[in-house]
Amino acid sequence: MHVSMLRLGQLSQGIIRHNAQISQSVGKKVFMTFF
């Protein structure tokens, strides 16, 4: 149980980091197209 909770936390952190990278790259592309 404890191990799965730790793994879940690591997974959610990885997903959050991945989403942040995607949104950053998308934001840069949008910024470059509009300006």
pLDDT of 35 > 80? The answer is no
Q: Count CB neighbours of 35 within 10 A.
A: 5
Percentage of the chain beyond pLDDT 90 is: 46
Q: Which residue has the tokens 């991945």?
A: 18
pLDDT of 27 > 80? The answer is yes
**pLDDT value at residue 11:** 92
Write out the residue range of the structural domain in which residue 21 sits. 1-35
- φ, ψ of residue 9 to 5 degrees: the values are -60, -45
What is the total count of domains within the chain? 1
pLDDT band at 1 (very low <50, low <70, confident <90, very high): low
